[in-house]
Structure 1
Amino acid sequence: MNSLRNRIKSALTLLNFWFLLFLVTTQAQQAEFSITSILSEIEAYKPYNRNEYPLGLYKETIEKKNAEFAEKQLALLNDLNKTDLTETELISCELLRFKLQNEVDEFRYKMYLNPIQADQGFHLNLNYRVKPILSYDDAKQYLNMLNAIPDYVDQHLVLIKKGIDEGLSQPKVIFNGYESTYDTHIVSDYSLSSFYGPLKELPISLNTAQRDSITLAGQQIIMDKVVPAFKKIKTFFETDYIPNTRTSIGVSDTPKGLDFYQNRINYYTTTTEYSADDIHNIGLSEVSRIKAEMNAIIDEVNFKGTFSEFLSFLRTDPQFYAKTGDELLMQARDIAKRIDAELPKFFKTLPRRPYGVIKVPDAIAPKYTAGRYSGPSSDTQPGFYLVNTYKLESRSLYTLPSLTAHEAVPGHHLQGSLNKELGDSIPNFRRNMYLSAYGEGWALYTEFLGNELGIYRTPYEHFGKLTYEMWRACRLVVDTGIHAKGWSREEVVAYMTENTALSIHEINTETDRYISWPGQAISYKIGEIKIRELRKRAEEALGNKFNIRDFHEIILEQGTVTLPILERRINAYINHTK
């Protein structure tokens, strides 16, 4: 009997072992399968035929469908067993949750009914479709894109009209000079259209028949479809839209406005840590700190006058401005190459992709910022640092080192290129993901890093760095002032004029941007404050073990992340290095 009991006991023990092994193995396989299947389903999701709609399909039914799909994936993600996932997989889960939740939020707050900003918009996005044609297939795709413009415009006008009816419009005040965004495309001859540019320089691989057919088709489409579409945009804006836009400037005056603004604060800071009051007070504190540093430089250059008079001197003295657009571009290129030479001292990994320095296209320059980075659209193209040569009297040379560090290297080009070069080590959605608290926070941090890079060679260039930092600090004050505290446009302009050395033209274009894009402007300074805080924490904790190249590697090696993820990674780096 005892022998039988022992055999039964042994059999049960063995069975229990195999059951537990099966359970553990199955759970691990399910976790692996689940994260893979969620990502696969997202990448396979196509709510419309992209060949039929090369510019996209913009309808409320599609927006609803997208939001419902995002909610479904969120539910799957929340149920996922994350016990055995790697660090990269856990980060991917957290970033995917953040991305999907924002898609749900954007639908909930009906952001699709207001696809317009002071310097961006559905029609301005078409400018970025004008790119070199490298093959016959490229040429056919370009013509398909031009053919799709009328339908693309009609779809957006339907949504914008509904937005007006529901009280979701941009404020009227941001549309001064807005006619330049569409008038430039209303031409009397196809050769004057910027959309004809790529058709002037077709690749030599095209034979004569192909070249002639593509050119003729492009000419006809531009005059028969593209120009009439922009005429329709002009009529709509000047007759139906602008006269019916709201007179108040704060998003708090729109339906669910304060809730929406808090949602945007959470999105643009990538955390739920801050209220509008918190952001406002941080801004006031930073403005006070930076102004003290600026006053020290004013004393250093022996300027006899007030802070306001010094700013006026910087805005008006010809020594601080280029005489030609080519001179401004030459100075930007020189600074960029000087920075390039210093990068290996501060970074273990540098991007393989090069970048160019070019001027902002004339068609968008009047409402454009001083400079911006444009990432490559394909594997065969570089990134571009765009410098605005419009109104040279508003483009100061003493701020150019800061602008170049921010937009080119070690700012947006370096970070963005490294992100793309992570390749298959991260899911596809992360390769093109952009969170401005991280991306803009990093770019602003690199302006601070410029001190160590040695790019500020005169007291005025140091002041220029502080000017740009002050500009971002002021954003915390004025963005929350506009959208949560009832500030007028005049109050914003006065505050920016009093505290920054930006030109009046830049202050006006920036103010319109803050009004039309609630919350985005706060991301720069909040992100930079966090990165500098983390660096200080690491330096104090590690002492002589701190290595700047290692620190930057930890910041950059997982690509775009939220600030909470970044903080956890730096804390882990500190604990590992001690």
Structure 2
Amino acid sequence: MIAKSVLLASAAALLLAACAAAPAPAPAPAAPPAPAMSQSEATQRLPALFARSDDAALDRNPLQALARGDMRNADRFGNYLEDAYFEAERAAHEAELRELLSIDRAALSPTDRIAYDVFRRNKEQALKGLRPEVVALSVVRPINHFTGMHTFYPQMVSGRGAAPFRSLADYENNLKRMDGFAAQIDRAVERFREGMARGVTHPRLVVANVVRQLDTLTADGVEGSPMFLPVRNFPEGVPASERPRLEQAYRDAIGGKVNPAFIRLRDFLRDEYLPAARESVGLTQMPGGAMLYDMAIESSTTLPLTADYVHQLGLSEVARIRGEMDAIRQEVGFQGDLAAFFEHIRTDPRFKPESAEALTQGYYEIGRKVDQRIGTLFRTLPRTPLEIRPYPDFIAPTAAGASYQQGAPDGSRPGVFYFNTYDLPSRITTIMETLYLHEAAPGHHFQVSLAQENEALPNFMRFGGNTAFVEGWALYAEKLGPELGLFTDPYQRFGHLDDEMLRAMRLVVDSGLHAKGWSRDQAIEYMLSNSAMGRTDATAEVERYIAIPGQALAYKIGQLKILELRARAREALGDRFDIREFHEQVLGTGALPLTVLEAKINDWIAGKRG
């Protein structure tokens, strides 16, 4: 999981995913078929459109620009909950789609056709999200405990996130952004009130989790805020004479603006919104939720799948993986059934980390093993460095077991593999190798870094993406463990299956919650009975699915598609199949919709066969 994102583009994209669109007119009709044009004209117009689109998007989205290292509007937070913002987004998508359709796709090179197809799908999907019937149900639920500006932004400006703190200007810009941040927190309250009036609310458990997050963010006052950390660690670029003034200014901004806005939001959610919030947890149990869940499935998987299909696929995968797990149970000589083996893994002290430091050193050692053999599977390695860190305390209680935060394209900020040390006795060491493969190398760190380092791609492909490809690749990367010298221990192989089981269970549980009336407790018990997960992790997972319906479906769907394409290529090419070349094809053009990826691999196979 990327930290993150529902889609991987930038930290700012997460905020935008959480802050839904405001009402807008329906998308404009598609343009007529483009007239035939020369290859020269088509290949000039297409990248020019991409460049203008990207530049305009960064101008409209200052936090996205900031995460990309573009400082043009670094003093602005942005008005992400205002109608005018979303009206501008809609107008831009419509205009850019019309211009794209005026370009003759047939005159483009194969690579440019891929870019054309991805750009078109992106615009069409964005406009679907701006339909009035969709946005009316979304904008009134602006944050939840998994994606929201209340946790995203403090981490972004903590000095360890995407916002830079290298100069006096960086510190001054952040002070100005904090004004906008506090204003948007208050605007979120107004949006929540609109939803209350229409009976469209979050589930109560989501609201209770947000209240706890806000309690944690404000419990230790100004000096305990993650936003205060930059003035505790001034870089050389900030003159010593300016530091006392800046420290006081940050005290005033956090103590006088941000924390009071947090407290207003918390008090409103606790005292007014929570009693009005719905008891149900499934999206289809909310007015209009069935439509939203169908859209969430397609958005997440990039395929027009039904909830019933997803549910049955999940049940099939769960059954397969249980069989492989039971084989390992027999291999290690465990006396007892699979449920007892799960409990053994879950509770035996030998599978618990001795300390947070021991966990850290364990991940360092796994990283060294992977580095020794990674060149056998990949021709191109990321230039962006990778660091390993525990989650910050204010995020850890509701965070997943691990996640990845992308680095800066120029290498000035490393990619970070975060792992969770909260409730350490609930953590299981058997999944360490698998978590590293998924979140770090060759999972998210490779996919994200190789895309954004590839300056030959248009920016929307370097920095954009979709969950099915991004998370599908990371889950596929787990399968590379044996080829990278890992999984030699049967318990680590079991951990790999346990992690794959998590993704298979997500198909069952997410669709169960949001389309089949499952309860929170029913979903938790299903996960505990089919894996060695601890209750803390299972609870966090289920509450994540409740907060962001459909997102968790993408992992398994994407992995199965990449495995299918690898098997197809190996069978078709025989001795000419090169795993390094296959990986180059998969990763070489950014995170593609699965339909576009399949077409690309089919063309590559055909080209190799002559």
TM-score of the superposed pair, with normalisation by structure 2: 0.87
Is 2:462 the partner of 1:459? no
- One-letter amino acid of the structure 2 residue matched with residue 447 of structure 1: E
Q: Which residue of 2 aligns with 1:364?
A: 395
Verify the 8 A CA contact 1:353 1:417 in the aligned structure 2. yes
1:525/1:114 Cα in 2 relative to 1: closer, same or farther (>3 Å)? same
The CA RMSD measured in Å over matched residues stands at: 2.0
1:179 partner SS:
helix
Alignment of 1:169-568 (within 5 A): 169-187=201-219, 189-272=221-304, 274-377=305-408, 379=410, 380-423=412-455, 425-568=456-599
Q: Which residue of 2 aligns with 1:15?
A: none
The whole-number CA distance in structure 2 between the counterparts of 1:24 and 1:93 is: 16
2:106 partner SS:
coil
The one of 47, 63, 84 equivalent to 1:61 is 84
Moved more, 242-251 or 293-302: 242-251
Q: Which residue of 1 aligns with 2:113?
A: 90
TM-score of the superposed pair, with normalisation by structure 1: 0.91
Verify the 8 A CA contact 1:95 1:562 in the aligned structure 2. yes
The whole-number CA distance in structure 2 between the counterparts of 1:26 and 1:521 is: 43
The whole-number CA distance in structure 2 between the counterparts of 1:205 and 1:549 is: 43
The whole-number CA distance in structure 1 between the counterparts of 2:368 and 2:79 is: 39
The one of 49, 55, 62 equivalent to 1:37 is 49
Query: Please, which runs of 5 or more residues in structure 1 have no aligned partner?
Result: 1-22
1:107 partner SS:
coil
1:34/1:396 Cα in 2 relative to 1: closer, same or farther (>3 Å)? closer
1:83 partner SS:
helix
Highest CA radius of gyration, 1 or 2?
Answer: 1
Verify the 8 A CA contact 1:88 1:426 in the aligned structure 2. no
The whole-number CA distance in structure 2 between the counterparts of 1:309 and 1:507 is: 17
The whole-number CA distance in structure 1 between the counterparts of 2:42 and 2:587 is: 30
Verify the 8 A CA contact 1:264 1:518 in the aligned structure 2. yes
The whole-number CA distance in structure 1 between the counterparts of 2:337 and 2:188 is: 50
- One-letter amino acid of the structure 2 residue matched with residue 87 of structure 1: P
Verify the 8 A CA contact 1:268 1:522 in the aligned structure 2. yes
1:257/1:397 Cα in 2 relative to 1: closer, same or farther (>3 Å)? same
- One-letter amino acid of the structure 2 residue matched with residue 216 of structure 1: Q
Q: Which residue of 2 aligns with 1:113?
A: 140
- 1:39 shift after superposition: 4.5
The whole-number CA distance in structure 2 between the counterparts of 1:276 and 1:496 is: 19
The whole-number CA distance in structure 2 between the counterparts of 1:573 and 1:30 is: 23
1:25/1:281 Cα in 2 relative to 1: closer, same or farther (>3 Å)? closer
Verify the 8 A CA contact 2:472 2:555 in the aligned structure 1. yes
The whole-number CA distance in structure 1 between the counterparts of 2:238 and 2:546 is: 47
- One-letter amino acid of the structure 1 residue matched with residue 130 of structure 2: F
The whole-number CA distance in structure 1 between the counterparts of 2:121 and 2:595 is: 12
1:293 partner SS:
helix
1:528/1:134 Cα in 2 relative to 1: closer, same or farther (>3 Å)? same
The whole-number CA distance in structure 2 between the counterparts of 1:177 and 1:435 is: 27
Q: How many residues align?
A: 554
Verify the 8 A CA contact 2:195 2:201 in the aligned structure 1. yes
1:497 partner SS:
helix
Moved more, 561-570 or 28-37: 28-37
Query: Please, which runs of 5 or more residues in structure 2 have no aligned partner?
Result: 1-34, 63-72, 160-164
Cα deviation 1:530-574 (Å, max 9, x = unaligned):
011111111111122211111111111111111111111211222
Is 2:82 the partner of 1:70? no
- 1:134 shift after superposition: 1.2
Cα deviation 1:383-419 (Å, max 9, x = unaligned):
1000111111121110010001000000000110000
- One-letter amino acid of the structure 2 residue matched with residue 527 of structure 1: G
- 1:68 shift after superposition: 3.3
- One-letter amino acid of the structure 1 residue matched with residue 531 of structure 2: T
- 1:367 shift after superposition: 0.3
Verify the 8 A CA contact 2:369 2:485 in the aligned structure 1. no
Verify the 8 A CA contact 1:170 1:245 in the aligned structure 2. yes
The whole-number CA distance in structure 1 between the counterparts of 2:150 and 2:106 is: 46
- 1:219 shift after superposition: 1.6
